Structure 1
Amino acid sequence: MHVPDGFFDASTSVATGLIAAGAVGFSLQRANREIRETGPALAGLTAAFVFAVQMVNFPVGAGTSGHLLGGALAAALVGPWTAVLVMSTVLLVQGLLFADGGLTALGTNITLMGVVTVLVGYFLTRALLQVLPRRMGSVVPAATAGALLSVPVAALAFTGLYAIGGAVDIPLGKLATAMVGWHVLVGIGEAVITAAVLSAVVANRPDLVYAARHLQRDLVLVDADGNTSTVAPDKPIAAKPAGRTLGVGVAVSLLVAGGLSLFASAHPDGLEFVGAKLGFESAAEDSAVAGSPLADYGVSGIGNAEVSGALAGIIGVLVTIVVGLAVAKLASVRANRAS
């Protein structure tokens, strides 16, 4: 659902830019507690993984594809405010290096994919955890439902923005029906990926899943004198990811971006498909960085498409890790100075 330049008028793009800037600024202030529990490395790794999986478009039928948005997954893993920073990092790298999403539309993309999906996914996850059995196994279905809903809600938010400042006059009822209809199917794929990833993490390192920390069992601590005490679930202990965990995460991200992405569907995604059907695709403008050496997820000068795509994916993962880590550290510094 990467919105290109040209879909919205200037005032709408400025407005979403301000919304995105405000959300990122607020998240920089609020993410410190989340980052302090697991360290900034997990935020950088999550950003890299989301970047990698977004490269893998999956078919949803009738010549249309979709890809992970990742907001609900990121929120479940690292918390909502860090997730906004994670998604903004991914979208920034994609927009600047790979010309994926317009630069004047960066605020729109952050608002839709970095704010709407995160908040919808996270708050539905938390709401469901209030009614589901209090156990670790409840996290996966709760976050899966959050992921499923977050995608069509983001599509509906796009429709709302288009009603305000769309570049081409089209029937809004048809736009809403098409966007939500196709993105419900994309949301099913989003839910499947979210469930698979969270199931693996919960099974191996549940302490690294932000949404699951309040479900940890009471820990019995014994001091040197034999006295015991417990750590209640409302004060969970979150371990930082070990070097092996980080190494596995980086390796998986590189494998997905540098290998699995080569088998991605070549069909247009839901937004592109709807744009072509309803006639507003023609309003799209080339990004200002369309001439980037990494534009369209390929490395210029390399004739072999598979090698070029794999190398671009690997570069993207490494850059996203670095930028994500830097943003997470910035959030910690800002919060420490404020306190």
Structure 2
Amino acid sequence: MTWAAKLIKHKSENRIAVYFEKNQDLIARIKQIEGARWSQQKTVWHIPDTIENRERFKIESLANSLPSPEGIVHIEKFKQWLRSKRYSESTLTSYSEALKSFLVFYREKPIADITNEDVIVYNNDYILKNNLSASYQNQIVNALKLFYRTVQNKLIVVDAIHRPKRSKSLPNVLSKEEVKLILNAHSNIKHKTMLSMIYSCGLRRSELLNLKFSDIDSKRNIVLLKNAKGKKDRIAPLSPKILKMLREYYIAYKPKTWLFEGQNVGEMYSEYSLQSVLKQALQKVGNTKPVTLHWLRHSYATHLLESGTDLRYIQELLGHSSSKTTEIYTHVSTKSIQQIKSPFDDL
């Protein structure tokens, strides 16, 4: 077994979340399922909740899996605590779902009696047995550490809950030529501008969709990203080319509330539709790589580094809290590597 699945609520819709280690073959297979989507917020692939898909992933028994009554009460209290600390709704959903998975596993055991040894058993008998990813396990750890800080009379030692060893996967990066083809694939000015904004400003998908026209400062050539990931505001520079595209787009569409709106006036453009815009661009240029919108952000950072931009500035532009997060781009930059001459050439 190389995957695990469970029922989730995503934007008030019943979906089936499918968890697996990062694998291009599995990603390609799940993309073939009608209605399959990638959730950047939940960091998981999810598919429509249908009888066929339930049978395909054998999750009938999971539909009725609930924590104990005590567990349900604690999950609700945990949600209230997260809200009072002003965690985002996406984080609240991720952490409460992760906690639910753990408390379902221990539905027969009082919460105050759960120990660190039980966490290890859960890791082995649920996480590892079902081949769930290290990132999912890490999400469980985050949820448990926060949750048990709110529980009184506990046996568990919060600081002793260990994390999985981090996998050292590198970000996916496109060449400038590939990016240019993708950004120029659409003749529709709206679609072209959305993809161009993500690359030219290094935006996350949610950051683009939450932009309002008032966030564009054409006099200072910047875009203001309000309440971005981690509830941090930051600014990103706007190139003259993007400003020109934005003016053309505004004349054509005249958005009312959001910079990029859906079919209905005042309605935010959907994540799924934005992903479809990228998918169509890839098909038009014949790019068969499993490119996601985040690849454009990775490419932006890497291309800045290769052009000589200081890593500290790139950290600020991307909104990374830690420089270690930004340093990963030094491992995919080809500027220095291309200058190394292979001894094979001298044979």
The TM-score bracket by the shorter chain reads under 0.3
**Which structure: larger Rg?**
2
TM norm structure 1: 0.27
More strand by share: 2
